[in-house]
Amino acid sequence: MANRLILLTILLGFVAYIHVPIFFEIEIITATQKPTCYQSGPPGIYRIVLSFFNLIYFGVSPSLCMLLFGLLTLRNINQSKRMAVGSLANLNTALSQNIRRTNRQMLRMLSVQVLVYCVTGLTFSMATFVLSIHPNEMKTVFQVAQENLIITVLGMLTNTGPALSFYLFTLSSGLSRKELKKLFCSSNRINNQPEQILK
């Protein structure tokens, strides 16, 4: 299923942006009289439609999909744990508390991830949408430079959402920190074994 979804995502991404090499063109900015290729698309109706599409495609859809698939994953984990627990005759309270604690931590990790991705993705999409509504012809050189700076900074922020996953999981969940410590401890033991053998 994952391999099929990866191929489908690549295909959809290619089809969704096939219009870019067709409609994007180099134009002259009236305020600066310099050639440019607008990253938000050429001015006009196309830019408004493209920015609205980017708002849905980059801002809303990934966050909703992450939330939906994350909740489905949590439900699946809960069902599998219930089945495993149901097979045990005597369920002790320590095991049930451990399951509840793990579920809370996973829900916290999911919420933080979706929130960060939503904030970083939506701000860029909203900025390009707002800027596409206002035409470039009436802006000064300073205003154009301000807009370019805002778009560039927010564009870099969109990359931080996916890049922060590891750090967000480590900071928001004791379970992730525990597994990370286990990983480091096991790698230290493996690295120290050859030295002990040589001695």
Question: Per residue in 29-39, pLDDT tens?
Answer: 666 677 776 66
Same domain, 148 and 62: yes
Domain shared by 155 and 65, yes or no: yes
Same domain membership, residue 118 and residue 96: yes
What is the per-residue pLDDT for 31?
Answer: 65
- Flag whether 102 is in a domain: yes
Looking at the structure of the chain, the number of domains it has is: 2
103 and 78 assigned to the same domain? yes
Cα atoms in the 13 Å half-sphere on the side-chain side of 105: 17
Looking at the structure, do residues 52 and 145 belong to the same domain, yes or no?
yes
**Given this model, what pLDDT does residue 7 score?**
93
pLDDT of residue 119: 83
Q: What is the mean pLDDT of each run of 10 residues along the chain (199 residues)?
A: 87 87 77 69 78 83 83 78 57 67 77 82 82 68 78 83 76 72 73 53
The residue among 106, 103, 99 whose CA lies nearest residue 85 is: 99
pLDDT in tens, 130-156: 877 776 556 677 777 787 788 888 888
pLDDT at 8: 92
User: Is 19 among the domain residues?
Assistant: no
Residue 131: give the domain boundaries. 39-163
DSSP class per residue in 25-55: --EE-TTT--EE--TT-STTHHHHHHHHHHI
Q: Which pTM was predicted?
A: 0.61
Using alpha carbons only, what angle is made at residue 111 by residues 172 and 176, rounded to the nearest 5 degrees? 30
